[in-house]
Amino acid sequence: MDMGLREMCVGEKRTVIIPPHLGYGEAGVDGEVPGSAVLVFDIELLELVAGLPEGYMFVWNGEVSANLFEEIDKDGDGEVLLEEFSEYIHAQVASGKGKLAPGFDAEMIVKNMFTNQDRNGDGKVTAEEFKLKDQETKHDEL
């Protein structure tokens, strides 16, 4: 599919034909796509939405508040629960201050973001646990 969409322009229509070896192969998908199926898609590019940098599912548009944890912790108890976190992230997206990766389940992205912040797995994020991606400890990759 990615090869068939390359250099496509907004408003353009294409028929993309995917041979079995680039699709589901000889096995297919049980009950959904027969083996050795040739896939045919009629596509029209209606809008081009910019994605996010590789490795990111959420980005800030502009400066990040210096008091970010305190802003997320609406009740001021020093702990952020998933509900508080989710409400805050969705409010940032709705106001244009943040952007979630297009084409993905927003609730799953937010839940994964929360889980990454909940470093001890107790279902809440404290100020000590909370770090932005650029504040993470850097380490050498193999």
Please say if the pLDDT value at position 102 is more than 90: no
Q: For residue 22, how far is the Cα from the chain centroid?
A: 25
In a domain? residue 103: yes
In a domain, 120, yes or no: yes
- How many other C-beta atoms lie within 10 A of the C-beta of residue 100? 21
Examine the domain organization and report whether 63 and 112 are in the same domain. yes
Q: Using a cut of 0.95, tell me whether the model's pTM lies above it.
A: no
3-state secondary structure of 138: coil
| 142 domain residue, yes or no | no
* 126 in the same domain as 69: yes
Judgement on whether residues 69 and 36 belong to the same structural domain of the protein:
no
Rounded distance, CA 40 to CA 14, Å? 10
What letter would DSSP give residue 20? Answer: G
Are 125 and 117 spatial neighbours (Cβ–Cβ below 8 Å)?
A: yes
* Cβ neighbour number for residue 89 with a 10 Å cutoff: 19
d(CA 94, CA 92) in angstroms, rounded, equals 6
Residue 95: inside a domain: yes
Q: What is the CATH number of the domain that holds 6?
A: 3.10.50.40
Same domain flag for 32 and 74? no
Do 75 and 7 fall into the same domain?
no
Question: Same domain, yes or no, for 80 and 109?
Answer: yes
Q: How far is CA 28 from CA 6, 17, 24, 37, 111, in A?
A: 25, 16, 5, 7, 32
Number of domains in the chain: 2
User: Does residue 90 form part of some domain?
Assistant: yes
Domain of residue 116, residue span: 58-137
**130 and 95 belong to one structural domain:** yes
Q: What is the pLDDT of residues 78-101, one digit of tens each?
A: 999 999 999 999 999 999 999 998
Please list, in sequence order, all residues whose beta carbon lies within 8 angstroms of the beta carbon of residue 89, skipping any fewer than 6 positions away.
Answer: 58, 98, 100, 110, 113
- Mean pLDDT of the chain, nearest integer: 90
Summarised one tens digit per residue, pLDDT across range 27-66 is 999 999 999 999 999 999 998 877 788 888 999 998 888 8
Q: Residue ranges of the alpha helices (H) in the chain? A: 2-5, 68-72, 82-94, 106-117
